[in-house]
């Protein structure tokens, strides 16, 4: 297994491998970049076909977290971890305690949170062995709100304010009344988003592979149910991919006519080149990792014992970040996704240069 030569290796600061004989833990932590702060990112449990597949995933996902946190304006770097195993059959308290001990050895440079295959209960076992864990809070605040580690409501709210920013930029209106939105996938985030949009008078069209989730959106939000084949090509103002990755792919790129694409799904662009195709088609694309950052913002604020109001105010800033990206993309004639990456790199590597300067000054002062 090559690490430094792996296609997804991007100058990662630290890649650590752990094995615990007693519990059977096999895990990898990748810390991509800590120039803005300690790295935070979810732990994913999956029965990877090979160690190479696990390494590829953790390298790619940790880099994505650096970019997401940088654009969210969080004092955090990018990290991620993977446990090689089947979440249906291979879980045990001992396995997650061993994972906690592994994270503890990284002395706070990596803060572990929830991702696919991992529950809050699993994280609570992790937390028995390390304090460097986020998303296990379950206290009640002064307003009787659960300070939950569940990121979905904050993600949905961030996507909602992001859609408003995109609609304002594209249609020059702050009013969502009558705006037609097609939501693909009305699960945790998609349904919460539907409720926000419905409350502001948007007309909703929804699809989901789970008929119960479609019914819920139809009943609660007066949405129109459409098939999964139709949703991308619908004649609407906003297309909101909220299911799995790859919604913008070789099949859909030519049928999407919505002037705005803005949804919560990760990795919406099946191929990076589609960002430029969308620009040429005059479709405004809200980069996925910018608009869906509400969850990581919320998890950070809850972990650092800040208030709900502070967290919500930060989530609302997603609208300003998107506006900055849209304006700069127009001015420079670049795809919004490209501009988002440039801003993230300015923050990440600008910060690196800055810290080097500060270190140099300190050395000078001391010397």
Q: Among all residues, which ones are annotated catalytic? A: 80
Contact between 355 and ligand NAD (CB under 6 A)?
no
State in angstroms the smallest separation of the CB of 213 from ligand NAD: 4
Is residue 122 part of the contact set for ligand NAD (CB under 6 A)? no
Residues that bind ligand NAD (rule: CB under 6 A) add up to a total of 24
Looking at 32-40, 59-67, 101-109, 264-272, which segment touches ligand NAD (CB under 6 A)? 264-272
155 binds ligand NAD (CB under 6 A): yes
In the complex, minimum distance from the CB of residue 115 to ligand NAD, in angstroms, rounded to a whole number: 9
Q: How far is the CB of 300 from ligand NAD (least distance, A)?
A: 13
Tell which one of 182, 265, 297, 343 touches ligand NAD (CB under 6 A). 265
Q: Least Å distance between CB 97 and ligand NAD?
A: 26
| 264 binding ligand NAD? (CB under 6 A) | yes
29-68: contacts with ligand NAD (CB under 6 A): none
Residue 318 in tokens:
């997603």
**Nearest residue (CB) to ligand NAD, 100 versus 241:** 241
**Least gap, CB of 271 to ligand NAD (angstroms):** 17
If the CB atoms of residues 51 and 230 are measured against ligand NAD, the closer one turns out to be 230
Using CB under 6 A, pick the residue from 38, 187, 246, 259 that binds ligand NAD.
187
Under rule CB under 6 A, residue 190 binds ligand NAD: yes
Q: Return d(Cα 114, Cα 134) in angstroms, integer.
A: 8
Site map 286..325 versus ligand NAD, x via CB under 6 A: ------x--x------------------------------
Instruction: Report, in Å, the least distance between residue 234 CB and ligand NAD.
Output: 13
Q: Which residues bind ligand NAD (CB under 6 A)?
A: 151-152, 155, 184-190, 207-210, 213, 228, 242-244, 264-266, 292, 295
């Amino acid at each position: 297994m090559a690490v430094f030569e792996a296609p997804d290796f991007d100058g990662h600061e630290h890649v650590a491998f752990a094995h615990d004989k007693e519990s059977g833990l096999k895990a990898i932590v990748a810390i991509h970049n800590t120039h803005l702060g300690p790295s935070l990112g979810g732990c994913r449990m999956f029965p990877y076909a090979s160690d190479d597949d696990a390494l590829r995933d953790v390298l790619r996902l940790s880099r994505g977290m650096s970019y997401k946190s940088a654009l969210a304006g969080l004092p955090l770097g990018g990290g991620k971890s993977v446990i090689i195993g089947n979440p249906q059959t291979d879980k045990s308290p001992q396995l997650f305690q061993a994972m906690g001990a592994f994270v503890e050895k990284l002395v706070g440079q990596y803060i572990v949170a929830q991702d696919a295959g991992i529950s809050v209960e699993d994280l609570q076992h992790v937390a028995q062995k390390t304090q460097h864990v986020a998303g296990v809070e379950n206290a009640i605040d002064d307003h009787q709100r659960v300070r939950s580690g569940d990121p979905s409501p904050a993600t949905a709210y961030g996507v909602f304010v992001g859609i408003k920013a995109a609609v304002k930029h594209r249609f020059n209106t702050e009013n969502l009344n009558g705006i037609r939105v097609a939501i693909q996938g009305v699960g945790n985030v998609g349904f919460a988003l539907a409720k926000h949009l419905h409350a502001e008078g948007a007309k909703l069209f929804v699809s989901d592979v789970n008929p119960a989730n479609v019914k819920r959106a139809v009943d609660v939000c007066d949405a129109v149910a459409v098939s999964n084949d139709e949703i991308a090509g619908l004649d609407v103002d906003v297309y909101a991919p909220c299911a799995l990755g790859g919604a913008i792919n070789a099949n859909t790129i030519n049928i999407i006519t919505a002037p705005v694409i803005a949804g919560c799904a990760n990795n919406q662009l099946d191929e990076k080149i589609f960002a430029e195709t969308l620009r040429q088609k005059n479709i405004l694309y809200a980069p996925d990792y910018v608009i869906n950052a509400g969850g990581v913002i919320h998890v950070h604020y809850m972990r650092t014992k800040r208030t709900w109001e502070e967290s919500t105010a930060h989530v609302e800033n997603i609208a300003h970040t998107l506006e900055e990206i849209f304006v700069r993309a127009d001015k420079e004639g670049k795809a919004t996704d490209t501009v988002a990456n440039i801003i993230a790199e300015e923050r990440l590597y600008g910060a690196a240069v800055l810290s080097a300067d500060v270190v140099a000054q300190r050395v000078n002062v001391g010397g």
